[in-house]
Amino acid sequence: MTITTQATLLQEPELRPFLPLLYVAWADGDLSEAERALIQSRLSAQPWLKPRLRDALNAWLQPAEPPNAASLAQVRAAILDAVPNLSPRAKRSFVALADAMAALDGESRRVVEALEQELGFDVAALHLPSAENTSEQDARPPRFDAGALQAVLDGRLAPSRARARAFLADPKHRAMYGVPKEPYREQVFTWLLSLARAGFGALAYPGVTTDAEQGLGPFLATFETLGFGDLSLVVKFGVQFGLWGGSVYFLGTEAQRQALLPKVASLDAPGCFAMSEVGHGSNVADLETVVRWEATRKCFVLHTPGESARKDWAGNAALHAKYATVFAQLEVGGVRHGVHAFVTRIRGDDGKPLDGVRIGDCGHKLGLNGVDNGRIWFDHVELPRDALLGRYATVTENGEYQSPIESPSKRFFTMLGTLVGGRIAVASAGLSASKVGLAVALRYASTRRQFGATSEPETLLLDYPSHQRRLLPHLAATYALHFAVDEAREAFLSLKPDADTREVEAHVAGIKAAATWHATDTLQACREACGGQGYLAVNRLADARADADIFTTFEGDNTVLLQLVAKGLLTGFKQQFARGGAWSMVRFVAGQVRDAVAMTNPFTSRMSDDASLRSAEQQLAALKYRESSLLASAAQRLGKRLKGKGDPAKAFLEVQEHLLAAARAHVDTKVLSAFIAGVERASGPEHAALDRLRQLHGLCVLERHTGWFLENGAFEASRARAVRKLIPVLFEEVRPDVLSLVEAWGIPDECLAAPIAFNDPAHPRW
């Protein structure tokens, strides 16, 4: 039979229903004589089959002249034309395939059914591709409105988020990959200029470049949303408008703010934030760079006294910054007044370093290579008197140091308190990176099939319990942290001018640590869950993982930040402890110990059934109990070491890991509490979807700490088993919501871009 003749016959509606069986008859191996005879007898007995079609079928079935590869390919192509109209279940049946080829009547259906049963052919031999983007479960109508849930997540800052999404939806602003650092840096600077011209930078300075009533909320929401895109741009945006400009905004006088900030917002004054030194990172109080007041010349002199005092990792410094805020020890008349912030010019308009300023490039990094991190040395650089950012301290023309805050330690922590907004921004950017990773991995897992029963379509990755275990706890935790970051942001935004920021600072420190550690864990899990596709740069996960890694130490090393949380827990955030010193802390500790030791275990007769394990109140009570117990035992150990005027520094070192565990437990409690409150923002189906995630998150946290609960008698073995068994049940309950939960984050498709997120591994969206 010629190819042309066969092509004509393949269009015959009477013949088409039998094509899948005929293809498998030959493609599955040599057609036996018994099988050939059975097919011929069945078809010959059908009076509706035209003679020329019967002849064609007989010719096709001749064992001496089997169809060649071209003929088989032609038949397979005709079959595949009908496949897109089938559901996954329909692909398991020859009858369904036959019906898709040409509508079956009653008689022809019986023939196909009989042949399918008698021949025992396997439909898997057709090797049908998965034409659907979803499983049958996914194809059901969504159980809630993703748009309505997005409105809940966006909250009052939805307009600012929408503007940032519109920027990201422009293909010109799509994240880059595989680009050398020099052109990458220039592209990021071009994007930053576009943001500045569109007014995004001005959002950072309410009362100067925008209406004071607006507050910093729109800027922080913009920063978080930009985290869906290129993280080098996000960091560059944060360095220019948040760190460099923010230092002037929070530490400068009104005159300094009015003079500098409009230029910062427009990018006419690109700058950097020079705090960290190669010898001193987290220990800001002991920075070595010095600024001395020269009484004879009535100016400051900025100097790097040694290599360990070199300013390091200053974003913008290597290439684009013309200005720097430099943190240095202020010395006036031979008296040290601690670390203060100074603004200095480091480059001229020609881009060359000024006299006395040496600038180096940190070079190629693990990630964020679109950011020009640099190193700076100062060699007796003269600064005018107004170079000192003067909100909290000034030096008069006569060389007199003045500050409205008498205590040097309080003045220092007041200045550092202005960095709280930066930590919120980093936490939210890490969270956005987590959302990108999960959006890619979960959408891919909802379309990618692998293995399965021989007679069935291959199983979707997301239908494997092991794959659910890989990703769904991260999905639940991402939602939990979304509400926790929201809560921390609102606490920061509600601070009154010159308020004591220490309680909020500790709160934000804990959330920043949790969100950024979560980002590194989540992005690694997403990379692994996508196999080799996750390793390809085009699919976003490789660069997102590398770029977000620095967030765990950027704006404060997470372990150091948890020590800040622990200190806040011990002091109860009360100012009296700053005045009363270490022994005031001991009295507080003793009271905490008495209260905690008297506490009875509230779980000996509770949390034994599914309803209790799912309960928000019970989950939160369990985490609070763990937090209180860890704090009480740590405080008790600390109190013993402080008796008899023991060395406080040594005592804290000896219980440091215990205190860090208490801090982590506190953060776990805060995150779950924020999630519970966040669930209540929604109603109807959206509330139900969030609550299922909350149940899952709470149980996963309890499971993670099962050892502690068992060790401390809070759980019995049966209760630990109940937690473990309920989690897979919740995986199945959350499973139908996954794609809608991802959609509710509102990541523009043009921004997400990863081909595997769109079931298109062969055609990148670039």
Task: For 654-708, write each residue's pLDDT tens digit.
Answer: 999 999 999 999 999 999 999 999 999 999 999 999 999 999 999 999 999 999 9
The whole-number pLDDT of residue 449 equals: 83
Query: 407 by DSSP, 3-state: which?
Result: coil
Q: What is the dihedral of CA 250, 256, 257, 261, to 10 degrees?
A: -110
Domain range annotation of the chain: 3-126, 271-415, 420-755
DSSP classification of residue 281? S
For 113, counting Cβ atoms within 10 Å of its Cβ (0-12 exposed, 13-18 middle, 19+ buried), the class is middle
Residue 11: its pLDDT value, please?
72
3-state secondary structure of 460: strand
* Local structure of residue 280 (DSSP, 8 states): -
Q: What are residue 660's phi and psi, to 5 degrees? A: -65, -40
326 φ, ψ (degrees, to nearest 5): -110, 125
Question: Contact 288/279 with Cβ under 8 angstroms?
Answer: yes
Contacts of 605 (CB under 8 A, 6+ apart): none
Q: Is 155 exposed, middle or buried (0-12, 13-18, 19+ CB in 10 A)?
A: middle
pLDDT at position 85, please? 53
Predicted pLDDT at 765:
43
Low-confidence ranges of the chain (pLDDT < 70): 1-10, 25-31, 47-48, 82-94, 100-107, 116-117, 119-140, 418, 453-456, 572-608, 760-766
Whether residue 230 contacts residue 753, with contact meaning beta carbons closer than 8 Å, is answered with no
How open is the CA angle 672-674-680, to the nearest 5 degrees? 110
Burial class (CB in 10 A: 0-12, 13-18, 19+), 8: exposed
Position 681 scores a pLDDT of: 97
0.85 exceeded by the pTM?
A: no
Domains 271-415 and 420-755 belong to one CATH topology? no
State the CATH architecture for 420-755.
Answer: Up-down Bundle (1.20)
Instruction: Decide: helix, strand or coil at residue 341.
Output: strand
What the block records as the tokens of 600 is: 């009875």
CA distances from 264 to 163, 249, 257, 322 (A): 21, 10, 10, 11
Q: Which is nearest to 389 in space by CA: 265, 484, 273, 469?
A: 273
DSSP 8-state code for residue 391: S
Identify the CATH number of the domain defined by range 271-415.
2.40.110.10
Q: Which residue has the tokens 């948890």?
A: 562
Q: Exposed, middle or buried, 90 (CB in 10 Å: 0-12/13-18/19+)? A: middle
The single residue listed with the structure tokens 């930040």 is 561
